[in-house]
A and B are shown apart, each in its own frame.
Chain A
Amino acid sequence: MEEQGTRAVITVVGEDRVGIIAGITAVLAQEGANILDISQTIVSGFFSMITVADLSGSAIGFTELKGKLEAKGLELGVQVTIQHEDVFRYMHRI
């Protein structure tokens, strides 16, 4: 397991449209969050993107980044959730 405590899972769900990935990743890049992986699917027009990002190089705090991502989500008409990676590690891995 890599170093703890710096990775977050960002989930974006909503109706598909142009520029969702660009919009969200731009916020991450701007704030120094390094994207480690992206998985994206569209099921009958319903967009879902899951991003794992390393926040260790980010100058702003978790709460501030969360605020910026949620604001961008509002602008794009999608729901953005950012959660500490531990949530998923604890729930889905023994």
Chain B
Amino acid sequence: MPIQFQPSEILETIRMVADEKFDIRTITLGISLLDCAHEEMGPLCERVYEKVVRSAEKLVATGEALEEEYGIPIVNKRIAVTPMAHVTAPCRKGNAADAARALDRAAAAVGVNFIGGFSALVQKGMTESDRNLIEAIPEALATTERVCSSVNVGSTKAGINMDAVALMGRIIKETAQRTADRDGLGCAKLVVFCNAPEDNPFMAGAFHGAGEPETVINVGISGPGVVLNTVRRNPGIRFGLLADRIKRTTFKITRMGELVGQEAARRLGVPFGIVDLSLAPTPAWGDSVAEILEAMGLERCGTHGTTAALALLNDAVKKGGAMATSYVGGLTGAFIPVSEDAGMIRAVEEGTLCIDKLEAMTCVCSVGLDMIAVPGDTPASTLSAVIADEAAIGMINRKTTAVRIIPAPGRQVGDRVEFGGLLGSAPVMAVHPESSEAFIARGGRIPAPIQSMTN
């Protein structure tokens, strides 16, 4: 029987893992907690703990077995649950942060590093339960280690809930204060969304949406390093060919996500959801989205041409990946989290990349203003205004946008905040000193946009 693969193909795969930092970033088990609802917080927390532990007991061992057999690192095994505000809705008394602590204990028991879904979806308005949960976010994030929280404040269909936007500015400030001893680390686990996807496997914004099955496996791939080497190996080629090379590469790395996802789902006896084909950088050099943009011919990420380079990259990633998997979902695109990307950090520290340019970049790529540290004395209304701008981009362009911003207590522009691990370290960036207070104080909703006359 002839060998089925060319030696060059096999060595290419091995090189991706050994030299180009290719990995599956996460397999995330989605779990519905709707059946854990209860009028009292105590029994509710017991049900939540019991269901998460029961549903996810084999998740980590299965991930580790796949890692061994396929020889491809699966960096994180994680859990996403039903937005907790839905589960706590019947519970008129009690502290929603208790539910977060139950999630934290369950995550520790099954050995996952993050559990997402301490969340509320309030794009049009807030229920009492939503408000209680949002008010409990600072305590929840200060008293747990593994819980991630997200709040959806806008959508293309509903517009932007500016009352929620105003509230989230205050909640982010308070979360930073409650975790001031860790430079506001709590805010690194809190995402404010517009058009939040219900099947996103990536933290901190993962939750298990209302249209999802009882349990589901979603996979997030990575691979900036592999794409970076593709671009570097092809200097000076014209854009059409460059896009083609990137597509071929993302096809290959997405196939691994498909394989791992299908097999993990089969072994766990859980339906396979989606592959999220996002380029998720890590703080290591050679695994940076900014470096890819620079390899395309920009002296430094953030200079003129950056948005166009990112648009090409983001689109090629989607096109290559879309054919490689049976189901695409989640965020799908290129991430630009500042603290988690060595090239972004350098560009900020050298003064090329500022918050305004990052905002422009989020118009053409996945997610939004992500892992950005700003001075600790930034007013809540300014944080709300940053969220409003980003939500407006998402709402008008029918895409997901998000803000994960850290007003690091006691820190000034020029300082660097260390979060450790995959969260990296963030240079504190300047925000505009001019006030947005009166704008945010208006309250109400920004109406949903018209869907024709699209210019």
Contact = CB atoms under 8 A, between A and B. Distances in A.
A12 to B, nearest CB: 11
B267 to A, nearest CB: 12
A44 interface: no
B68 A63 contact: yes
B256 A37 contact: no
Nearest to A51: B3
Contacts of B9: 88, 91-92
Given A62-B69, A81-B71, A92-B252, A39 B7 contact: yes
B11 A84 contact: no
Interface string B245-265: 000000010011011000100
A11 interface: yes
Interface in B3-34: 3-7, 9-11, 13-14
Contacts of A13: 11, 14
Interface string A50-94: 101000000000110010000000000000011111111111110
A90 B68 contact: no
Contacts, number: 70
Contacts of A39: 3, 7
A83 B7 contact: no
Contacts of B71: 81-84, 87
Contacts of B2: 37
Nearest to B5: A88
Interface in A1-44: 9, 11, 13, 36-37, 39, 41
B259 A66 contact: no
B14 A81 contact: yes
B70 interface: yes
A83 B9 CA distance: 13
Contacts of B219: none
Contacts of B69: 62-63, 83-84
Interface in B292-325: none
A87 B259 contact: yes
Interface residues of B, number: 24
Contact of A50 (B7, B68, B255, B259): B7
Given A11-B14, A81-B14, A92 B70 contact: no
B17 to A, nearest CB: 9
B174 to A, nearest CB: 46
A9 B10 contact: yes
Contacts of B252: 91-92
Most buried by B among A41, A85, A90, A91: A91
Contacts of A50: 3, 5, 7, 10
Which 10 residue pairs spanning A and B have beta carbons closest together? A83-B71, A90-B255, A90-B259, A37-B3, A92-B9, A84-B69, A91-B252, A88-B5, A91-B255, A87-B70
13 contacts: A50-B7, A52-B4, A63-B69, A81-B14, A86-B70, A87-B72, A87-B256, A87-B259, A88-B13, A89-B4, A90-B259, A91-B252, A91-B255
